[in-house]
Amino acid sequence: MGAQQLVVSTSDRSLVSVPNERHEDPTVFEVPGEGRMVPRLGSSSLLRLAAYASQLGYIVVGVEIRDRAFQFLEPDLSESISEALVTVLRDNNLPAARALLNGDRGPYSVVAIDVVDEEDHDIRVARLGEVEADDGAAVTNLVTRAWVELQLT
C-alpha cells in the first residue's frame, strides 16, 4: 500500500486516507475552499492514538521524538525516551507517557508512532496525517476508527 495522506472533510469532520506515493507535502492535499484539510496531529493526539492501538491489539513498536524545536535529539537520549514511551504506551499509561516528554529544555515532541497489527502489518502515523502502511484495511481499522472514537485533531 505505501504512503497515504489523511484528509479531513470540514463539513462533517470525516476522515479519509488517500494515496501519496510521490510523498508530496501534506499541505498539497489541503483545499480549504473545498472543505478539505489535513489533520494537525500533535504529541497528545499521537500518544492517545498509540495507547488506543494497544487496546485494540496492535503492538506499539516505536515512537519518534524530537526536541521542542523539532530538531533531532542525541541518539542515546532519543532511543532511551522512545523505548520508555513504547513500554508505557503498551500499558495504556498516558500520564506516564506525557511525563516522559518533559525534557530538560522544554517538552519533547512526538513526531510519529509505529504500530504493528496482529497480521504483522506495519502502520506509521506522523504529524500532519502522513501514514505509511503495508495494508489499507489496517489504516481504516485503526486510524479512521480512532479519529471518531478519540475525537483526534
The rounded average pLDDT for each run of 10 residues, N- to C-terminus, in the chain (153 residues) is 92 93 96 96 96 94 96 95 97 96 89 95 96 85 90 82
Q: Which three cell numbers stand for residue 9?
A: 472533510
Determine phi and psi for 87, rounding to 5 degrees. -60, -50
Would strands 102-103 and 122-126 be described as parallel, antiparallel, or unpaired? unpaired
So what's the pLDDT on residue 144?
86
Instruction: Give the global pTM.
Output: 0.94
For CA atoms 11, 14, 16, 22, give the dihedral sign.
positive
Helix (H, G, I), strand (E, B) or coil at 22: coil
Grid cell in block for residue 26: 501534506
